[in-house]
Amino acid sequence: MFTGIIESVGTLTKIERRGDDLRLTVASAKLDLSDVKLGDSIATNGVCLTVVQCLNDGYVADVSAETVALTGFSRYQVGQRVNLEKAVTPMTRLGGHMVSGHVDGVASVDERLNRGQAIEFWLTAPTTLARYIAHKGSITIDGVSLTVNEVQGARFRLTIVPHTASETTLIDLKAGDSVNIEVDLIARHLERLMFYGEQDSTQKRSEVTMELLARSGFLR
């Protein structure tokens, strides 16, 4: 589990293809690796990866074919900058939102605009994921926890404050780029609760309904 608060920006120094899988070497002099051991998880551009080798200034991790297919890793090259976050501990501040590191898909950057000292982005998500993106809801972009400021169908707007831009790879984004996205974890589970068994008459229909959510204050 992660929070979407980036601890460091790293660099891919080696990409080794192993059939349909990848083995990555990630370097980061800034990330504190003193407490990292084999088997630990590090979110790498929003993707939860397992450390298979510890290095003095980085780590090695494998990326499965499933993950490659759902993320931007298929297009990454040596030298690619990536956002890094170690898994949370019981003492970690939850400064962002609950992030699993299980990327749902890839969104495209449509526009980049300067708004005062901030940067505004318009992105388009896959239509299958658009229903999980809500106005003032949370979304993870390349591992960064962000608030959705506007939604128009599958398009949504984000505002990046100067500190976030300078401490992450979001400063590098431009129109035409692609980013890994993870939608809100709660939204995915609510959908499962509401529609479980709908396609199978032998299964009991969930008692969680739109009316119940409205009465409970979850819907406006």
3-class secondary-structure state, position 65: helix
3-class secondary-structure state, position 193: helix
Task: Give the tens place of pLDDT for each residue, 11-36.
Answer: 999 999 999 999 999 999 899 999 99
Task: Give the tens place of pLDDT for each residue, 160-173.
Answer: 999 999 999 999 99
DSSP assignment of 68-117 equals: HHHSGGGG--TT-EEEEEEPP-TT----S--B-S---EEEEEEEEEEETT
Name the percent of the chain lying above pLDDT 70.
91
Report the alpha-carbon distance of residue 139 to residue 185 in Å, rounded: 9
Name the CATH code of domain 8-86 (choices 1.10.760.10, 2.40.30.20, 3.40.50.720, 3.60.130.10). 2.40.30.20
Closest CA to 4 of 182, 136, 150: 182
Closest CA to 173 of 192, 149, 146: 146
Task: Give the tens place of pLDDT for each residue, 52-85.
Answer: 999 999 999 999 999 999 999 999 999 999 999 9
* 73-87, 94-108, 185-199: least confidently modelled range: 185-199
Rama region for 116: left / alpha / beta (φ>0; ψ in -120 to 50; rest): left
Please enumerate in sequence order all residues whose Cβ is within 8 A of that of 187, keeping only pairs 6 or more positions apart, or say none.
132, 134, 137
pTM recorded for the entire structure: 0.87
Average pLDDT, the chain: 91
What type of residue is 111?
Answer: E
Report the alpha-carbon distance of residue 81 to residue 83 in Å, rounded: 7
